[in-house]
Amino acid sequence: MPNVSRRTVLRTLGGAAALAAAPAPAEARAPRPPHDDDLGLLFDSTRCVGCRACTVRCREANSLPEDVKLVDGVPYDAPIDLNDRTLTVIKRTSDGADGAFVKAQCMHCADPACVSVCMLGALHKGERGVVAYDVSRCVGCRYCQVACPFNVPRFQWSSATPRIVKCELCRHRWREGKGAACAEACPREAVVFGPRAELRAEAHRRLEAEPGRYQGGVYGEREGGGTGVLVLSAVPFTAMGLPALGSEAVPALGETIQHGIYQGFVAPVVLFGALAWVTWRNRRAGGGGEGER
Q: Which residues bind ligand SF4 (CB under 6 A)?
A: 106-109, 112-114, 117-119, 122-123, 131, 138-144, 148, 150, 152-153, 164, 166
Tell me: does residue 78 bind another protein (CB under 8 A): no
Rounded distance between C-alpha atoms, residue 273 and residue 275, angstroms:
5
Q: How far is the CB of 121 from another protein (least distance, A)?
A: 4
Cβ-in-10-Å burial (0-12, 13-18, 19+) of 97 comes to exposed
Q: How far is the CB of 138 from another protein (least distance, A)?
A: 6
Closest CA to 144 of 158, 133, 160, 157: 133
The three-state secondary structure class of 165 is strand
Residue whose CB is less far from ligand SF4, 64 or 141: 141
CA distance 262 to 255: 10
241 binds, among another protein, ligand SF4, none (CB under 5 to 8 A by kind): another protein
- Which of residues 75 and 140 has its CB atom nearest to ligand SF4 in the complex? 140
Q: Are strands 229-232 and 39-44 parallel, antiparallel or unpaired?
A: parallel
Please give the C-alpha separations between residue 33 and each of 73, 152, 230, in angstroms, as whole numbers: 50, 21, 15
Kindly tell me which residue out of 35, 163, 204, 213 binds another protein, with binding defined by CB under 8 A.
163
| Distance separating the N- and C-terminal Cα atoms of the chain | 19
Contact partner, 68, from ligand SF4, another protein, none, Cβ < 5-8 Å per class:
none
Comparing CB distances to another protein, the nearer of 122 and 180 is 122
Say which entry of another protein, ligand SF4, none residue 216 contacts (CB below 5 to 8 A, set by partner kind).
none
Indicate whether 254 belongs to the interface with another protein (CB under 8 A): yes
Q: Nearest 5°: phi and psi at 185?
A: -80, -25
CB 54 → ligand SF4: shortest distance, Å? 17
Beta carbon of residue 176, minimum distance to ligand SF4 (angstroms, whole number): 24
